[in-house]
Amino acid sequence: MAVLLIAEHNNKDLRPFTLNAATAASQIDADVHAVIIGQNSETAAKKLSELPLIKKVISIEAPHYENFTAENFAPAIVKIAGNYSHIVCSANTFGKNLMPRIAAHLDTSQVSDIIKVISPDTFLRPIYAGNAFATVKTNDAKKCITIRPTSFEPCESSGGTATIEKGEAAEEFSNTKFIKREEIKSDRPELGTARIVVSGGRGMQSGDNFKLITEVADKLGAAIGASRAAVDAGYISNDHQVGQTGKVVVPDLYIAIGISGAIQHLAGMKESKVIVAINKDGEAPIFSVADYGLEADLFEALPQFMAELNKLNTIQK
Amino acid sequence: MKILVAVKRVIDYNVQIRVKEDGSGVVTDNVKMSTNPPDDNAIEEAVKIKEAGKATEIVAITVGEEKAQETVRKALAVGADKGIHVKTEGALEPLAVSKIIQKIVEKEKPDLVFMGKQAIDDDCNQTGQMLSALLNWPQATFASNIEIKDNFLEVTREIDEGLETIQINIPAIVTCDLRLNEPRYASLPNIMKAKKKPIEEINVSDLRIDIKPRIEQLKVEEPPKRKAGIKVANVAELVQKLKNEAKVI
C-alpha cells in the first residue's frame, strides 16, 4: 500500500515543509500519494503534482476547507485512509494539531516527530528535548507519522507530472469556527528554513534592543530567532521562539546572543552546523554547544560585529 | 461550568536526564519529578476562570503509578476542588491515556477539559487532540489566550506563522501553551487544606479499555555529542573564523 502525504498550503502555495515531509514519506515507500484539502486550491494542487516524488494527488475541496482546522481536515483524511499503509505530515504546528486527531479516529498510536526512517515500521525520534534518541517500532497496521522537517532535505519541486484526482469532502464540523490568523509578514528568510539564524535572549534586555540583532540579521540575510525568555518578556513575537516548545532549526550558522542556553533552548538549535555564542557569562551552558564562543558584553560586541561584517568584501547569501 | 484538568508527572524540567546504560530508557530513580510544566498553566487557567466566577468546579486528573498522585495533590493545593487518580503501571501511550480520560469525561461530564500542549518527557504532543477526536469535541491546541463567552470560547493559538484565533463551542478541549498565564505557587495553608480534599482512586482495569502499547521502544541512546568548540578573544577573530575557517558567511 502507498504512503499518504498531507500537504500544508495556503490554497496558492505549498508551505515549504511539505517538501521535507515528501522526502520522509518517500523513504518509507516509493509509492507516495499526496492529499491537499482546501478551497480554490488548484494552484497549490498543481504545484504539489509537480513534485517528482509524488505519484498521485488527491484534491479535496469545500468551502469549509478554506482555512485549516483539524476538526474539518481529519474526517476527510480518515475517509481515504483505507488505501494507505502510512499517513505522513510535518511535525510543525499544522501537523501537531492535525495528525493525532486522525490517528485517534483510526485507533492508531501515532509516532511523533521522527528524525530518521529506519524501516517502514521503525523510526528514530528525540525524547526529553532531544537529550535522548529513541528507536521505536510501531505495530499498528496503519501508521500515523509526523516528521521533524529539519531532519529531512526538501525534495525537488519541479519536473513531476502526477495526476490530480478529486476526493470527496467530509461533513463540516460546526462547533469550531476559524476567526482570524495574524501572520507576521517579513522579507527575511523563514526561521525554519533559513541558512543563518541570529537569536536573542533575555540578555537583550528590551524589545528595542532587538534592533541590534535585526541589523546583523539583515546584513547576513538571516532569520531572527529568540529564546523563550525573550518571547515571554515581550521582546519579540512567539513565531520567533526556538526550542523544545517552539521551532527546531538546523541552519548552517546559528548565532546565540545573550542566551544562557537552557536545555529547552538547546533542544531547538543544537543540531545547527556551526554555533556561535556571545554571552558575558563565561559559565553559561550555551558555550558547551558553541563552536565559537565569545565572552563579551553583547552591547559592545554587536556594534563591533556589524563593523567587522561591513569590512568584508563579500558575504554569502 | 465544570473544568477537568489533566496533569502528568514527569522528570523535572531542570534535570539533565541520563540514558540507562542498557539502552532501555532514561534513569528515573532518585530523580526530581514535577508536574509537566504546561499542565501547571492548564491548572492555573482553570483556577483563574473559577475565581472570575465563570466556573464552579475544577477536577484534576492524573493517570499513572502511585506517585503520580503528587501532581493531583499539587493541583488541589493551587485551587482544584477534587482529584481523580487512575492507577496504571508501566508506560502508556497518548492514545491509551486519551481513552482513559474519555471514560472519565463520560462519568464526570465536564464542560471543558484543559491540559498542557505537550509533555516534556516523551514530547509526543498528542493526548489533547486524540481526546477531542474520541469525544468528537472541538480542540484548541497551543492556547496562549482564552476568552470565555456564553456557550463558547475564543481561543488564541500560537502557530508557526504567528497567532490564530478560533471560536469553539462548549464542550471543548484546550491544550495550553506556557505563555497562557503565570502559574502561581501553592501557599502553605493551601497545601495543608489540599490534604483534606478528596482524591478518587480508580484502577485502570475497572475501566475495561485496551491500553496495551502499540509501539515498542527498541532502544534509547544518547544523541551524538558536539565536539568541543573554542573561545575567541574578540569580535574580529570571530568574524575571521566564520569567514575563513567555518566558511559560513
Which has the closest alpha carbon to A269: A191, A213, A211?
A191
- A10 within domain boundaries: yes
pLDDT tens, residue by residue, A138-149: 999 999 999 999
What is the predicted pLDDT for the residue at A186? 81
Report, as ranges of residue numbers, the positions in chain B whose pLDDT lies below 70: none
What is the predicted pLDDT for the residue at B225? 87
- Answer yes or no: do A90 and A136 share one domain: yes
- Answer yes or no: do A216 and A133 share one domain: no
What is the predicted pLDDT for the residue at B152? 98
- Residue A4 CB partners (closer than 8 Å, separation 6+): A32, A33, A34, A35, A77, A80, A81, A83, A84, A86, A87, A88
**Structural domains of chain B ordered from first start:** 2-245 (3.40.50.620)
pLDDT tens, residue by residue, A242-298: 999 899 999 999 999 999 999 999 999 999 999 999 999 999 999 999 999 999 999
Average pLDDT over residues A78-89: 97
- A86 within domain boundaries: yes
With CA atoms as reference, the chain A residue closest to B243 would be A315
- Check which CATH number belongs to the domain holding A7 and give it: 3.40.50.620
Tell if the CB–CB gap between B123 and A112 is shorter than 8 Å: yes
- Answer yes or no: do A122 and A258 share one domain: no
Q: Is the dihedral of CA A107, A108, A109, A114 positive or negative?
A: negative
- A175 within domain boundaries: no
Any chain A CB within 8 A of the CB of B21? Answer: no
Question: Residue A200 and residue B121: Cα distance in Å, rounded?
Answer: 26
Tell if the CB–CB gap between A181 and B94 is shorter than 8 Å: no
- Answer yes or no: do A26 and A158 share one domain: yes
Tell if the CB–CB gap between B160 and A94 is shorter than 8 Å: yes
Query: How is residue B195 annotated by DSSP?
Result: T
- Answer yes or no: do A130 and A13 share one domain: yes
**Geometric angle at alpha carbon B92, from B90 and B98, rounded to 5°:** 145
In this model, does residue A10 exceed pLDDT 80? Answer: yes
- Answer yes or no: do A154 and A219 share one domain: no
**Geometric angle at alpha carbon B49, from B46 and B52, rounded to 5°:** 150
Identity of the residue in A100, A220, A238 whose CB atom sits nearest the CB atom of B249: A220
* Contact between residue A171 and residue A75 where contact means Cβ atoms under 8 Å apart: yes
Question: Residue B101 and residue A165: Cα distance in Å, rounded?
Answer: 39
Q: Provide the percentage of residues in chain A whose pLDDT is more than 90.
A: 95
- Answer yes or no: do A244 and A162 share one domain: no
pLDDT tens, residue by residue, B110-148: 999 999 999 999 999 999 999 999 999 999 999 999 999
- A178 within domain boundaries: no
pLDDT tens, residue by residue, B95-108: 999 999 999 999 99
- Answer yes or no: do A216 and A151 share one domain: no
Torsion-angle region of A119 (φ positive above 0: left; ψ -120 to 50: alpha; else: beta): beta
In this model, does residue A230 exceed pLDDT 90? Answer: yes
Could you give phi then psi for residue B240, rounded to 5 degrees? Answer: -60, -45
* Contact between residue A122 and residue A136 where contact means Cβ atoms under 8 Å apart: yes
What is the predicted pLDDT for the residue at A75? 98
CA of B49, closest CA in chain A: separation in Å?
21
- Answer yes or no: do A145 and A220 share one domain: no
What is the predicted pLDDT for the residue at A18? 98
Could you give phi then psi for residue B155, rounded to 5 degrees? Answer: -120, 130
- A185 within domain boundaries: no
- Check which CATH number belongs to the domain holding A305 and give it: 3.40.50.1220
Interface probe, candidates B122, B242, B243, B245, chain A, greatest A C-beta count within 10 A: B242
Average pLDDT over residues A32-46: 98
Query: Which domain-ending residue is among A122, A147, A166?
Result: A166
- Residue B130: its chain A contacts at CB < 8 A? 100-101, 103-104, 110
Q: Which residues constitute the domain of residue A252? A: 196-311
In this model, does residue A314 exceed pLDDT 90? Answer: no
Tell if the CB–CB gap between B248 and A196 is shorter than 8 Å: yes
- Answer yes or no: do A74 and A217 share one domain: no
Domains identified in chain A, total number: 2
